[in-house]
Chains A and B, each alone.
Chain A
C-alpha cells in the first residue's frame, strides 16, 4: 500500500467514526423507542377493531414533516380562534370594572393593620392610605354591568361580555405573573397558551402561521418573548411576532436584487441540503426546519396581504380608531380581526404601559392611566362589534386582562407617598373578561369584598382561565399533554378548573 492509499484509508475511517459519533446513543434510543412505541400502538389499535376504527384521544402526535397541518381537537370546539388582549403592567380593576363605593368613604384614611399583617407588596412599605375609586361608575346594558366612565365605548357592549371579577394570582412581580398567566408557570421554560393551541390544532390556513403575537405601547411585556414562546414544545409552535409598522415580519421582503424565483431556488437548494441531512441523521427537527422554510416562502405573499390595513374601508378605520402606518394597539386589534378572519388560531396582543404606580404623570391614575384607557377603548369595542357583524364572534373567544390587580391603597413607595395617585401591584383581586367563543354575554362572575381587597366568591386563577380557553378550543386541559423529560406536561400543571358558569 502506498503512502497515499494509507492516508486515504485513514481519512475514510475517521469520517466513518465521526459519523458514528454523530449518531449518538440518544438518537439510537429515541429511534428505537419511537419504533417500538409505534409498533405497539399499531398492534393496540388493530386489536380494538370492533367496527369503528379506534381513534386516539388526541391527534397531537407531533408530525415533524407537517408540524402545522390542521389537526382536530378532543371534542367539538365552541371557539375556532382566540384573541387574547393582554394589558401588560396590570390595569387597575378599581378604576374600570370593580365598583367599590365603600372604598370611596375610606379615601385618605390610613390602611387598617389587619389588611397589612402578613402581606407583602411590591413597593408599599409601612402604613399606606386607602385610595377611593378614581373614576365614576355606572351600570350598563340589560345585565347592569358596572363599568367606569374610563371606557365609554366598551360600556355599550357590556351585554356581550362575561366579567371575571375575582381573578387571583400568587405572583406580584410583572414578569413572573405574566409568565404564569400565559404559560402556567411563573418560571421560564413552559410553552405559552398559543403554542399549546397551535400544537393541538395546527394552522387552518397553510399560508399563515397558527399563532401570531403583536405588541404595542412602546415596549415588550416584562417577561419578554417567553410569553409567546414554545417552551419545550417544538419551536415551530412559538408565536410569530408581527409588526403593525414597517414590514409585518422582519426580513420578509426579498433583499434588493433578489427576485422571487431566485428566492425560491435558494430555498429549494437549502431544503435539499436539509433533506440530505435528514436522511443521514434522522433528526425530526430537520424536517421542522424544512417545513419552516417552506412556510416562510408562502408567508412572503400571504402575510403582507393580511397584515395590510390600508385597504380597509374608511368606516372600519373610524370604528377602530386606526391610523395605518403607526404602531398602535388599535392597529393591532384590527390586524387581529383580519388574521382570525383568515384562519389564524391564536392572536395575542400585548399592550405595554398599564403599570399605574403614580410615580410620575404617565403612571398616574388621573393622567397616564386615562390616556391608556382612551387608547384601547374604541378598538376593543369595535373588535367585538366587527367580529359579531361578520358572524365570527360566536366562534372567536376574546380575552382581556392584565397579570394581576392593583391595591385599594395608594402606593407609598418606600414609605413616602407618591407624587401622583397610583396603586401598587395586588394579587388577591383583579378583573379579566371574556366575550364570544361560546361564552355567555352579560355575566358578572365572582365578587370581591366591599373595598375590593380580596376575592370572596367565584375565585378564578390563571389556571382556570387557561382551562377555560382550552375547553372552548375543544381540549380537556387535564388530558392535553406533551411528553417531556420523562413525564407528560400540561398547560395547567396539576390545577385549573373550567369556569362553567360563564359558558353558554
Chain B
C-alpha cells in the first residue's frame, strides 16, 4: 500500500519535473541553431554542460512520466505517443551530447538542434493535451474564429421500448452520454471504466459501483444524488448532469438486478418508471423556448439615432451586455403619436423589443415598424392602429409575441399575419374579434397561443364571508 502510494507520489511529480528538460533543452537547441562564428561564438562552449543537465532532467521526466502513466487517469492512445516521443527527446539529447564529446566537428549539429526543438515542441504539446484535454487550445481558438460549439448527439427514439434490451438500449445510452467521457476506453478516471459490462461491474479504485438489486447502496447512484457542490458528486459540476429521468432509469435497472441480457418487458415496472420508459419511444423533447432575440448578430446601432430616440422620451437600451439588439419602450412618451416613429427607422435592424402601448400611434407607424425586421416582441396595446396597418407587419418573420390589446383590429386584419413563422403568442383582448371568429383564427394560427382575454372569476359566497370564532361560553 505504501509502495503503491509512493509510486503515485513520484508519478505526480511528472508535471513539475517535465518543465526542466523543456526549458533546458530548448536553450541547448537554440544555441545549436545559432551560428558558430561571430557574435554567438562564445555560447558554443556552454552547449555541452547544458545538454548534460538537460539529459539528467529528461531521464527523470521519463521515469516519473512512466510511473504516472500507470495511474489510469489518462487516455491510453495519447499516452503511448507521448511516452515514445519523450524517450525520443532523451535519446537524441544523449546522441548530440556524445557527438559533442567525441568530435569537435560542428558542421551538422544545427540540424540535430532543429530536430530536438521540434520533438520537444510536439512532446510538450502532447503532454498538455493529456492534462488539459485535447480541445484545450482548440476550444478558445474555435470561439475566436466564431466556429460553433460541438453539437450534443441526440438519443434516437426506440420503436418499442418493451422489446428493447434493458442494458444495451436503455441504460447504456445514458452511461454513454453522461459517463463515458471520463470512464471508457480513452480515459479511466479513478480507474473506472464503464463501457463494457464486466468492467462496469468491476468498479473503480474505490471498489464496485453497482450493487445489483440495491440502488441505495450502489456508489454510482449515491454519487449522482449527492449535492452538486459535493466533491464526490458525479458527473462533475461543470459537465452535463444526469437528468431526473436518466437517474430513474439507472436506479430502476439496478434495483431489478442490473442484468445485461434482459429485455425491458422481462423486468418489473412499477408505476413511476412507466412514463419514463415510454418517453424513450419519442424524440428527446425539443427546447421549446426560442431565444427571445434573433440568433444572427447585428451590427452596432448609430449612437446618434439612439440618442435622438431617448431625447424624444423613449427608454432605449441594448437587450443585454454584448448585444447590439435594442429594446425600446415609450412609457413617458405616450402622448407622442406617429411623429416619434420615424426615429425608429435608423435603428430598424437593431430593434428587437418594442413597447408602444398607450401611445397614440396609428397605421402610419406600422409602416415603419414593419421595416424593423428583427423585432421579436411588439406591444401595441391601446394604440390607434387598425386592420389596414397590420398588413405592414407581414415581413416581421422573427416576431414571436404580438400584443394588440384594446385596438380596433378584427379577425380579417389579423389574418394578414398568418405567415409570421416565429409567432408564438398573440394577445387580442378587447379587440373587435367577434365570438364567431375564433374558430377561424385558431385554424389560421395553429401554433400560436391566441389569448382572447375577458377572463371572469365566478362570485363565490366564500369570497366575502368571514368565518367567525365560535361564541365563547361564559364560565
Contacts and interface: CB of A to CB of B under 8 A. Distances in A.
A388 B427 CA distance: 8
A361 B469 contact: yes
Given A374-B462, A391-B427, A70 B317 contact: yes
Given A55-B321, A374-B465, A474-B320, A153 B460 contact: yes
A240 B466 CA distance: 32
Contacts of B452: 389
A156 B291 CA distance: 30
A343 B313 CA distance: 14
A382 B315 CA distance: 29
A503 B452 CA distance: 25
Interface in A151-186: 152-153, 156
Interface in A336-375: 341-343, 361-362, 364, 366-368, 370-371, 374
Question: Is chain B's binding surface mostly helix, strand, loop or mixed?
Answer: loop
A378 B456 CA distance: 11
B456 A390 contact: no
Interface string A291-325: 00000000000000000000000010011010000
A73 B320 contact: yes
A55 B457 contact: no
A319 B289 contact: no
A72 interface: yes
B288 A391 contact: no
Contact of B332 (A77, A207, A321, A368): A207
A319 B457 CA distance: 6
A268 to B, nearest CB: 21
B321 A58 contact: yes
A350 B427 CA distance: 30
Contacts of B260: none
Contact of B457 (A72, A78, A206, A378): A378
A189 to B, nearest CB: 26
Contacts of A368: 467
A389 B467 contact: no
B154 interface: no
A394 interface: yes
A394 B327 CA distance: 16
A378 B292 contact: no
A371 B466 contact: yes
Given A52-B300, A204-B331, A390 B427 contact: yes
Contacts of B317: 70-72
A69 B65 CA distance: 59
A76 B457 contact: no
Nearest to B292: A76
A57 interface: yes
Interface in A212-271: none
Contact of B319 (A53, A72, A207, A503): A72
Contact of A205 (B291, B315, B325): B315
Contact of A366 (B293, B379, B467): B467
Contacts of B329: 204, 343
A478 interface: no
Given A76-B292, A371-B466, A391 B451 contact: yes
Nearest to A207: B332
Contacts of B463: 321, 374, 377-378
A75 B327 CA distance: 13
B455 A385 contact: yes
Contacts of B469: 361-362, 364, 367
A390 B381 contact: yes
B332 A390 contact: no
B270 interface: no
B155 to A, nearest CB: 19
A72 B318 contact: yes
Interface of B: 228, 244, 288-289, 291-293, 300, 315, 317-323, 325, 327, 329, 331-332, 357, 377, 379, 381, 401, 403, 405, 425, 427, 429, 451-457, 459-460, 462-470
19 contacts: A55-B322, A58-B321, A72-B320, A75-B321, A76-B291, A78-B289, A152-B460, A364-B469, A368-B467, A371-B466, A374-B462, A389-B455, A390-B403, A390-B405, A390-B429, A391-B401, A391-B425, A391-B451, A438-B289
Give the 3 A-B residue pairs with the shortest CB-CB distance, closest first. Answer: A389-B453, A391-B403, A361-B469
